[in-house]
Amino acid sequence: MRIVMFYHSLLSDWNHGNAHFLRGVTRELLHRGHRVDVYEPKNNWSLQNLRADQGAAPLRDFHTVYPELRSRSYSLDSLDLPRLLESADLVLVHEWSDHKLVRRIGQLRRSMNSFVLLFHDTHHRAVTDASSMRAYDLSRYDGVLAFGNVLRDLYIRRKWTRRAFTWHEAADTRLFRPIAGRPCEGDLIWVGNWGDDERTAELHEFLLHPVKNLQLKARIHGVRYPDSALKALKSARIRYAGWLPNYKAPDLFARFKVTVHVPRRPYVQALPGIPTIRVFEALACGIPLICSPWNDAEHLFDPGRDFLVASTGQEMTAQLRRVLHEPELAYHLAAHGHRTLISRHTCAHRVDELLNIYHELTASIAHRKKPARSRRPTARKNPSPPPLTPSTH
């Protein structure tokens, strides 16, 4: 099967959390023998920032780590979509795509009628920037892939699409796995971007203050940290180590004793049940995880056994103290979380789900295309003459 994917970037993960899942799904499809062509905008925002921040070295490293992955850059004005899509079976278009591109591909779907077309949403803009999301023309798309039930239901309720499917993110377990034998470098590791004031108060309450109170040896990686954040890290005696290539996270998790998850406010208040990629990454690597409040409304995990939950900063301090001073608790927490991840939340599981959705849609499309079968006339002893106009069935 030939699969064509239009995403923001395969090459860069600079402030681009979906890169992990995109790379993992692409690799899984390739290993199963499918042809996958990934297209990303030339000089896209994430890639531009990566080059400005780190130079060309990360791109060379990317091809070393992912030798099977290739990305094709495009300019929207010169993109020959009919040629690119003429032999496609399945086309995925990410929500971080230009509105014109989304509309043009939809128009081709109607005229070519030869591939299944899905829109993939992995962000909170449906609730934080609804006007922009509403402007996407999805009328000719076969459906939406939403990374949570609440987002899926929102698309249906607002009539942005006729069909929507839940397609959660997951871990690329070819890369994200426990690594033994690494020397311990500290107590707590946190990988995440500071963001646009979507969790500033939460980061102070659930990360900076507990680290400072417990005098932990901690290290933070991420980008877009304003001066105020850097000063706060310094005050808490936390080492800020800047951007981290996503594929280096497993090795780093192996060198620390615990990590935490502090979700952005939209996922807590407006999109409950969506954990984002950081939870999957931590559990896949077998590091004990403690979460600030988020509602696992879809029962993806087993809170209390896969990870601990802290409802306040004081509870976070207490939970961190427990994990760091009770080795048996830390071991069982990491082991249980890893088993849950491996059993249901890998990119292989998500590819199975994607292919099931594809086959469901192709069966539905084939059924709609199938011409109606004419009824055989009922035999009569004295048949009447045929009607002057064709009958409809």
Q: How many CA atoms lie within 13 A of 176 on its CB side?
A: 31
Q: Torsion angle, CA of 312/316/322/324, rounded to 10 degrees?
A: 180
Per the CB < 8 A criterion, the answer to whether 254 and 180 are in contact is: yes
51 has pLDDT over 80: yes
pLDDT tens for 321-374 read 999 999 999 999 999 999 999 999 999 999 999 999 999 999 877 655 555 444
- Nearest Cα residue to 288 out of 164, 383, 187, 369: 187
pLDDT tens for 59-98 read 999 999 999 999 999 999 999 999 999 999 999 999 999 9
Burial status of residue 262 (CB atoms within 10 A of its CB: 0-12, 13-18, 19 or more): buried
Count of C-beta atoms within a 10 Å radius of residue 68: 10
244 has pLDDT over 60: yes
- How far apart (Å, rounded) are the C-alpha atoms in residues 6 and 92? 6
Q: Torsion angle, CA of 142/148/153/155, rounded to 10 degrees?
A: -50
